[in-house]
Structures are given as C-alpha cells and as structure tokens.
C-alpha cells in the first residue's frame, strides 16, 4: 500500500481519493475551499454521485482518507495526483492556472523521486510544462505521468473500481510502474504510452463519444423527414460490433463538464497547429442545433412562444448527477426565456439556487405537478427515472394545454396519447402521431446497380 496525495477535491479528486482509500492506500486530499473540506470531513460529498457518500464515510472510518484545506509543510506522498479544474476559454483553450499553482506549491513540499500525476484533462504538452515547473520550484528529480480519467458522472465510483482500461503516459518507465501498482487490486488493462499520446487519448475518446451522439441526432432529423424510427435505426446499427449501441441515443444533445470543453479544446489545438478539424466543428454545430429543434417543435404546436408557460423537466446535463455545467436542459430554458416564454423548471436533485445561476429568470417548481399548473407544454429535458412514469391523468388536469415534447425519447408515446396528450419526440414521426411522408422512392433505371 502507498501514501497518495490528491490535489483538488472536485469531481475527479473526491472520487479518486475515496476509491484509492477503498483499495487500501493512505490518501490525503487537499483543497483550498474550506467549506468543501469541512463537509467532506463529516462524510458529505460536495457533489451528487451514487455510492460516493458511503465510500467517503468508509474511508474516514478506516483512517485511510484525510482531507486538508491547506498544504502541510511536508507532504508525505510518493505519488501526487493533480486533479484541479481546467476550464475552457471562449476560444476553447484550456486554462491551466490552477494546474500551475498546484504544481508550484506542491513541488516545494515533496521529496526527490516523487511522481506527479496529471489526472486533470490537460492540453497536449502539459506534461512537459508540469515537469519543468516542478524542477524549477522543488528539489527533484521528479517524474511526471499522465493518467487521464474516464469516469462517467452518475456511475463514477463503479467506473473507477471496474475500469475498462488505465492509460499511463510517461518517459520514465519506473514512474509508470509506481502508478500502475496503485491500481493493481483492480487487475485493469493498462496501456503504457508516451505522455503526449496519453493526453491525446483522453481528448480523442471524448470527441469520438460526442461525435456518436451528434451523429445519431443528425440521423434523427433525417428520420423525421423520411418517416423512419431513429430508435430502431440505432438498435440495428448497434447490433454491429464495429459500431456498438453505446451513445446512440437521440435527444437534446450532449453537455456536462467534459464533452463541450474537450471538443472545443481539441478543435482549438488543431487549428492552432495548422490542422483542419471540420468534423469536430460539425459535431458541435449539430449538438447546438438539437436545442433549436425542440424550440421548433414547441412553436409548431403552440405558435409564437412569447407569453407561453412551459414546464421543463430536468436541469442537470444528464440523469443521476446534479451537474448543470453546459446543461442542454438549461440552455433550452435560456432560449425559452429569450423568446418571452415563462420557463418553469423541476429537477429531483438540482438545488433551486443552481438553476437560478444557470438560467436567471427561470421559475423553480418543488414538484412536477406544481410546475404543471397552467403550463401549455411540458418538455422532458433530462433523462431522470422520475420522469419515465409520469402521472398523465393528474398532469393533464393541471396543465392549460396537454402537450408533451419528449426531448429524451423517455416515454411511451401511445400511453401519453391515450391520456389525451399531444406527444412530440425526437426522430420518431410515427410515434408522435405525425403522418409519415408519402414521397415515393426514387426510381432506379433498369440495369443500373443500386
């Protein structure tokens, strides 16, 4: 077992710290946010994540998990993970100030032979920057390893403890061995690469997953135009092992802390170095357009949205998390407000103050039925289980007009229509009660191969 330090008690830092303690390591997690540290010392995670509170409490009880709101004079750790935030600028470039501050501070408190691990998502080349800063500020030699995280919000604890792969990048084989040993109890598949390749794997992985979502959303638009069902199309595609069914879910598009930032950052890096990332630009454009398509569905049923009262079900960027960063649901709310609508938002986990931060002017509802009072439409914007089985009878009784726009394809459209609702969804024209196109297929001249 090893002494490990984690700098940053955000999403990645807290999950990593609690899970390393679960594996038997002695872990010190440091963050300058005193309120956050105080909550963690009482066993309360600052984020909503299934299983995480229990894991933090287990680590505290075992004596293997420690939280500090300041750096000690000497940090007794052979491996130090940098897990601070790296927000993106408007142009897409990653802001590395928190990484630089953390490295400059920790380098003076660790001894020779310590391994610094970049856990944050950082631009290609950051490993060399960290290596140089550590040696200028500390008493090296130190080694630097890139160990990108692949945790999905909503299942991060499971993902950490059951990894599909661990990527480790460094020019020092002994440093890779030391970090790999921390994960030994999980028996993961480990890919050992150079440090720039490890950094690139993270960006390429997230960009590809975002591409799959944007692809199926573009197929959904085409399905609506041609009368096909995008869910069945995705099922048929996913049965091909080369494609797989994962991330082939048409809806409101992707958001969160990773995909938007990483796609923009990769696009920016490509442009800055003379490459031409046309596909990445299209992936982002399609994603933004999904919100506009939902607005168009509302307009086609209600007419102008000014003065309309619309219930938006969901505020987090996806189910099983309270993260509202780059939330498609809140982007839709802001668009509704810009059009003069009254947007009423319900979310089973996200606090009202977080909703107000992300969409100033929105009205927060304590329950679904409270939000439905007088609403002329209800939009399912986040795939919470709470919304899969709506009380159609009472919902219709409270609404001024029985219209549901299911932007996550969550509901049984037939049940909604049977309850008297006009039901609109994504990429399934037959399911939402719209007629299929009757344009005949283009004829193919005899003798010409299809």
Question: Is 442 exposed, middle or buried, given 0-12, 13-18 or 19+ CB atoms closer than 10 A?
Answer: exposed
Distance CA 67, CA 101 (A): 19
E-only strand ranges, 107-178 = 115-118, 143-146, 166-169
Query: H helices within 162-229, ranges in order?
Result: 173-182, 195-226
Which H helix or E strand runs over 191? Answer: strand 190-193
Catalytic residue among 223, 258, 364, 425: 258
**Which two tokens mark 172?**
């020092």
φ, ψ dihedrals at 253, nearest 5°: 105, 180
Q: Is 223 a catalytic residue?
A: no
Torsion (CA) 211, 215, 220, 222 in degrees, nearest 10: 150
Q: Which helix (H) or strand (E) holds 6?
A: strand 3-7
**3-state SS of 102-114?**
HHHHHHCCCCCCC
Q: Rounded to whole angstroms, how far apart are CA atoms 168 and 146?
A: 6
* Eight-state DSSP code of residue 144: E
- Specify the 3-state DSSP secondary structure of 26: strand
Ramachandran angles phi, psi of 448, nearest 5°: -100, 130
Task: Specify the 3-state DSSP secondary structure of 30.
Answer: strand
CB atoms within 10 A of CB 438: 6
For 417, the token pair is 């229509």
Residue 330 burial class via C-beta count within 10 angstroms: exposed 0-12, middle 13-18, buried 19 and up? buried
CA distance 98 to 14: 17
| Cα 232 to Cα 230: distance, rounded to the nearest angstrom | 5
Q: Which helix (H) or strand (E) holds 273?
A: none
The token duo for 182 is 């921390």
Taking alpha carbons only, the member of 186, 181, 175, 104 closest to residue 145 is 175
Strand blocks (E) in 318-444 = 342-346, 363-364, 377-380, 403-406, 422-424
**Which of the residues are catalytic?**
258
């Amino acid at each position: 077992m090893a002494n490990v330090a984690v700098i940053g008690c955000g999403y990645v830092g807290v999950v990593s710290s609690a899970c390393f303690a679960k594996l038997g390591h002695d872990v010190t997690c440091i963050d300058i946010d005193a309120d956050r540290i105080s909550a963690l010392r009482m066993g309360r995670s600052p984020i909503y994540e299934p299983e995480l509170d229990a894991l933090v409490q287990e680590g505290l009880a075992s004596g293997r998990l420690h939280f500090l709101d300041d750096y000690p004079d000497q940090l007794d750790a052979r491996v130090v993970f940098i897990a601070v935030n790296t927000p993106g600028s408007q142009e897409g470039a990653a802001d590395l100030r928190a990484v630089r501050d953390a490295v400059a501070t920790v380098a003076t408190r660790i001894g020779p032979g310590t391994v610094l691990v970049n856990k944050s998502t950082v631009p290609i080349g950051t490993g060399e920057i960290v290596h140089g800063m550590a040696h200028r500020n500390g008493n090296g030699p130190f080694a630097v390893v890139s160990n990108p995280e692949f945790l999905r919000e909503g299942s991060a604890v499971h993902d950490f403890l059951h990894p599909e792969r661990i990527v480790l990048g460094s020019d020092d084989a002994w440093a890779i061995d030391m970090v790999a040993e921390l994960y030994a109890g999980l028996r993961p598949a480990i890919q050992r690469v150079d440090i720039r390749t490890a950094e690139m794997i993270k960006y390429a992985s997230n960009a590809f997953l975002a591409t799959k979502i944007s692809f199926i959303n573009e197929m959904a638009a085409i399905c609506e135009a041609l009368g096909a069902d995008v869910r069945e199309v995705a099922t048929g595609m996913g049965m091909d092992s080369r494609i797989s069914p994962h991330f082939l879910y048409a809806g409101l598009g992707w958001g969160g802390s990773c995909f938007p930032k990483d796609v923009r950052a990769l696009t920016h890096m490509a442009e800055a170095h003379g490459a031409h990332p046309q596909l990445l630009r299209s992936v982002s454009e399609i994603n933004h357009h999904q919100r506009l398509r939902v607005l168009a569905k509302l307009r086609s049923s209600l007419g102008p949205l000014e003065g309309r009262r619309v219930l938006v079900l969901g505020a987090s960027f996806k189910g099983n998390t309270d993260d509202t960063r780059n939330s498609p649901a809140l982007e839709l709310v802001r668009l509704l407000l810009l059009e003069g609508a009254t947007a009423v938002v319900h979310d089973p986990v996200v606090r009202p103050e977080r909703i107000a931060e992300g969409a100033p002017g929105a009205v927060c509802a304590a329950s679904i039925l409270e939000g439905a009072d007088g609403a002329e439409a209800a939009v399912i914007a986040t795939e919470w289980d709470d919304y899969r089985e709506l009380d159609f009878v009472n919902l219709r009784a409270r609404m001024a007009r029985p219209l549901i726009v299911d932007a996550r394809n969550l509901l049984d459209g037939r049940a909604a229509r049977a309850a008297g609702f006009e039901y609109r969804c994504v990429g399934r024209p037959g399911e939402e009660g719209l007629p299929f196109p009757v344009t005949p297929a283009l004829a193919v001249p005899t003798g010409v191969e299809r």
